[in-house]
Chain A
Amino acid sequence: MNRSTLITVFLVVAIVALVAIPVLFVPGEYSGSDGQAGEVVESTGYEPWFEPVWEPPSAEIESGIFALQAAAGAGVLGYCIGVARTRSKQKATNQN
């Protein structure tokens, strides 16, 4: 393995570890920090003055839409990187 591959492997392992270690070893409810901040605001007696225009009717639907967001992003990201790669490869071949 050359140095560049080693760095790549290290980066991937570090990312996975950062995400996995909390879930495996730290007990907690893992509620969202956005929601916790909202609870602090509510504890001051504040009442929200505006309701969301539309809310996903259930947690399942909500997680589905989140998955859709991630999937759409990942799809476009992969497409763009793929096309960019092909394009620069073709450019390299044309110049030879």
Chain B
Amino acid sequence: MHIAEGYLPPLHAAAWTVVAAPFVVHGARAAVRRVREEPDTKLLLGAAGAFTFVLSALKIPSVTGSSSHPTGTGLGTVLFKPPVMALLGTVVLVFQAVLLAHGGLTTLGANAFSMAIAGPWIAYGAYALVRAVGGSLGPAVFAAAFLSDLGTYTITSAQLALAFPDPTSGFLGALVTFASIFSFTQIPLAVAEALLTVLVIRLLVRITPDELRRLGLLRPAGPRETKEVAS
């Protein structure tokens, strides 16, 4: 999902930066507010950021004979809602643009939009939908992580297709070309990422149920119940 440095025409690069910037600024404020109001969530916030950091560094082989990397934004979205991930995801992208020449500063806005903004919002929608129809935590987290990963790469395909429409078949033709590179490769990786995210959530449910209750992932228990669970 990294569009390389200089690979978007200046106008597109600027437009995506303008679109992404408010989300990232809002996300930064949301993260600061959360840490100030509930210092106890700092640990899980760190865990969510670290998870994205690890996963986006791993290039993983896929059945198409290409390799690609997961995004890791599903976990943080489920825990902290999309705005916080806009910040955490962008931090990862800046690291990779500056130290790895992976992605770029001119394409930072576009990449932040796909990985740190659109992906998390898709994840949040999927999570909320599964929970609303009565799905339990596991399937909801799976859907969130799977669709945020796949959705991020689909958005990247659309961004490239907008900038480089096919001379004959136009935007749609180019979208098919880019999506066939990204999306098929990404499907098994998105499944693997989703399974891993479920694994981490299950671990968190076991070790910090109180935190997850406070974040709204588990049903709130009354004061007496909380004590029983904790003891």
Which residues of A are interface residues toward B (Cβ below 8 A)?
4, 7-8, 11-12, 14-15, 18-19, 21-23, 26-34, 36-38, 40-41, 44, 46, 48-56, 62, 65-67, 69-70, 72-77, 79-81, 83-85, 87-88, 91-92, 95-96
Contact = CB atoms under 8 A, between A and B. Distances in A.
Interface in B172-201: 177-178, 181-182, 185-186, 188-189, 191-192, 195-196, 198-199
Given A48-B7, A91-B210, A53 B43 contact: no
A80 B46 contact: yes
A65 to B, nearest CB: 5
Contacts of B153: 33
Contact of A37 (B106, B178, B208, B209): B178
B67 A32 contact: yes
B207 A77 contact: no
Contacts of B58: 70
Main secondary structure on A side of the interface with B: helix
Contacts of B188: 18, 22
A84 B68 contact: no
A88 B164 contact: no
B136 interface: no
Interface stretch (B20-28, B48-56, B123-131): B48-56
13 contacts: A11-B199, A19-B61, A34-B1, A37-B3, A41-B160, A46-B9, A48-B4, A56-B99, A69-B54, A73-B51, A74-B54, A84-B204, A95-B227
A11 B198 contact: yes
Interface stretch (B30-38, B90-98, B143-151): B90-98
Nearest to A37: B181
